[in-house]
Chains A and B, each alone.
Chain A
Amino acid sequence: MVESSVHPAAGTAASKPYLQIVDVVKKFGDNTVVNHINLSISKNDIFALLGSSGCGKSTLLRMLAGMETPTSGRIILDGEDITHLAPYERPINMMFQSYALFPHMTVAQNIALGLKQDGLPRKEIDERVERMLDLVQMKKYAHRKPFQLSGGQQQRVALARSLAKRPKLLLLDEPLGALDKKLRQQTQLELVNLIDQVGVTCIMVTHDQEEAMTMACRIGIMSEGQLLQIASPGELYERPNCRFTAEFIGETNMFGGHVVEDEPDYVRVQTTELPRPVRVGHGITGTLGMPVWLSVRPERVGVSRQQPTAGGNWANGTVHDIAYLGGFSIFHVRLDTGKVVKASVPATRWREEAAPTWNEPVFVSWADTDAVVLTQ
């Protein structure tokens, strides 16, 4: 069975949850934007909320920051219920998508503002500002105004500002969304290192799956206000628990069908898109005849000229299209049933023989363990 982690109790059982989001709902008028979300996060985790635009990620984050009040549900941080605390009373800091630097203050003043609110002595404020500037390597720019900085520099100031108060929880809303692609990839690991160095629990929001996979140790997939799956990056990719996740993370071949054989250690799925029932090497919780989805990643699909000998998971078709991508190629194979199957084949596969070309008849195949059955 694919683990379902939506229930709070099913989070990381190893450590006691540091942040608990309990059955939180947010409605704007009749529009339910966040729908019964349960989530536990342990200390020093980097958690990423991943979802398409408008699915309610920012709203959930803003409820954690106190910018919005949940319609119902509770938020507990380090044993304290903070659901109704005002934003300025929460030990939580946020880095905004637009950075939201104060345009009329220098970099140093931006970082110092939060510390001043805590009534720290001047000397300590100066020291801490200094240390933060050091951390993000912005010491040289301490007396510049935000508009005198590049996008990447602004991002670092925003991060320094949100870390300066040593929050219990750091929230990052699309932390790298405003940077261009190249800078973004470079900054991803830098940001993770910084967060690790400071040792802060962190929730980030992104709609870039690559970013989430690179930075987070756990990822929650959000769709239409609901959390569909919470898992590590690898688990999400290899063992999605629903159709949405499987299609959202990476590419996949999806077949609709129903269960024709249900054994404890394997199932057989009949689909009209493949010539014969597919054997899948894991059991499911379901009944005979129930409709299911079958997901097979393109890199698990083999392409050959000869009919595969082992296993029954194969089908014949013709090469419909080839996308050459250097290290590997994507073969679009049109089966006799009309279904087009994508196969990602490494270049090394074609050492012995030449790669098939357009309209050549080929076989596609995969092992029992390469397919995943999705019941929702």
Chain B
Amino acid sequence: MNGKNISWFGRVSLGLGFAFLYVPILILIVYSFNASKLVTVLAGFSTQWYSVLFNDDAVISSFGLSLKIALLSSTMSVVLGTIAGLVLARFGPFRGKGLFAGMISAPMVMPEVIVGLSMLLLFVELQQWFGFPAERGVLTIWVGHVTLCMAYVTVVIRSRLVEMDRSIEEAAMDLGVRPLKIFFLITLPIIAPAIASSFLLAFTLSIDDLVITAFLSGPGSTTLPQLIFSRVRLGLNPEINALATITVLVVATLVVGANRVMVKAEQRRTRLAVAT
């Protein structure tokens, strides 16, 4: 149904678009190998900023913290988001469903400063009333990230469930499988790819979050984005270029790899289906 080739107009807009998207990142990478301390002067190839980076204890420890929080919050948000997606896609209408759906999707568009501040005020009040949580730190950041990420997970899972053929679950019920078992035996394996990709999404959102984290973190808990932010505020910094380069390369590898796996699986499916 589509033309076999892209028109010249398409080529130009894609070319300009990709240039806009990628040139800044390429420049960033080039300057990370710059020998000069001045980020604006090119002065020969060097990997010194990488060694500076790897010897920077603050970076290493904040990265560790970010990783830990990202793993914890993406796990929890996948659990909660999958349940929420199931509730919205399968449980039919119930009282308060509108509010539920609204609360789920609002954190995705709402400016993060709003979410961060309101959640912080909750924790402060909770502490006044119950003495818990005693201080802001990993726990409060985790709660914030889970709330943000589960919105995205829910959207992914819910739309997967909506497009899934309901009669597959009905067939299982017809064969004598009980509802709870159907979820684990039939539904979960079928939506597993969606769960995996929503986990990845939640992970990147959490490890990248700055604003909500800033409101919810305490003195002892500085995540990597917070550290980068505090340094970048002071101006350009070649060490950050090195860090950014690594981030870009890791993410690019992961995304391209995941994409290839998905494309391969899809191809295998269609090839086999055609072959028989």
Contact = CB atoms under 8 A, between A and B. Distances in A.
A118 B170 CA distance: 17
17 contacts: A66-B173, A67-B174, A87-B174, A88-B173, A89-B176, A93-B175, A96-B170, A97-B167, A98-B167, A100-B168, A101-B171, A103-B168, A104-B189, A117-B177, A147-B269, A148-B272, A149-B276
Contacts of B174: 65-67, 87-88, 92-94, 162
Nearest to B173: A87
Nearest to A114: B175
B178 interface: yes
B165 A87 contact: no
Nearest to A92: B174
Interface of A: 65-67, 86-89, 92-94, 96-98, 100-104, 113-114, 117-118, 144, 147-150, 153, 161-162, 165
A67 B170 contact: yes
Contacts of B53: none
Nearest to B182: A88
A88 B176 CA distance: 4
B172 A102 contact: yes
Contacts of B272: 147-148
A117 B176 contact: yes
B186 interface: yes
A101 B165 CA distance: 10
Given A87-B170, A148-B273, A114 B165 contact: no
A100 B187 CA distance: 13
A165 B175 contact: yes
Nearest to B272: A148
Contacts of A114: 175-176
A165 B170 CA distance: 16
A203 to B, nearest CB: 14
Contacts of A88: 173-178
Nearest to B188: A104
A114 B177 CA distance: 7
Interface string B263-276: 00000010011001
A104 B167 contact: no
B189 A100 contact: no
Contact of A117 (B170, B171, B175): B175
B251 interface: no
Nearest to A118: B176
Contact of B167 (A86, A100, A113): A100
- Those 9 A-B pairs whose CB atoms lie nearest each other, nearest first: A114-B175, A117-B176, A100-B171, A100-B167, A87-B173, A104-B189, A96-B167, A88-B176, A100-B168
Contacts of A144: 276
B110 to A, nearest CB: 35
A94 B165 CA distance: 16
Interface in B152-185: 165, 167-168, 170-178, 185
B179 to A, nearest CB: 8
Contacts of B171: 94, 96, 100-102, 161
B58 interface: no
Contacts of B186: 102
A100 B165 contact: yes
Nearest to A88: B176
Nearest to B273: A147
Contacts of A102: 168, 171-172, 186, 190
B218 to A, nearest CB: 45
A144 B174 CA distance: 23
Interface string B101-128: 0000000000000000000000000000
B172 A113 contact: yes
Nearest to B270: A147
B35 to A, nearest CB: 54
Nearest to B186: A102
Contact of B276 (A66, A117, A148): A148
Contacts of B178: 88
B207 to A, nearest CB: 31
B192 to A, nearest CB: 8
A113 B177 contact: yes
Contacts of A67: 170, 173-174
Contacts of B176: 88-89, 114, 117-118, 165
Contacts of A94: 171, 174
A87 to B, nearest CB: 4
Given A102-B171, A148-B272, A165-B176, 10 more contacts: A66-B174, A67-B173, A88-B173, A100-B167, A103-B168, A104-B189, A104-B190, A117-B177, A147-B269, A165-B175
Contact of A103 (B167, B173, B177, B190): B190
Given A87-B170, A98-B165, A113 B175 contact: yes
Contact of B175 (A147, A148, A161): A161
B175 A150 contact: no
Contacts of A118: 176
Contacts of A150: 276
A320 to B, nearest CB: 42
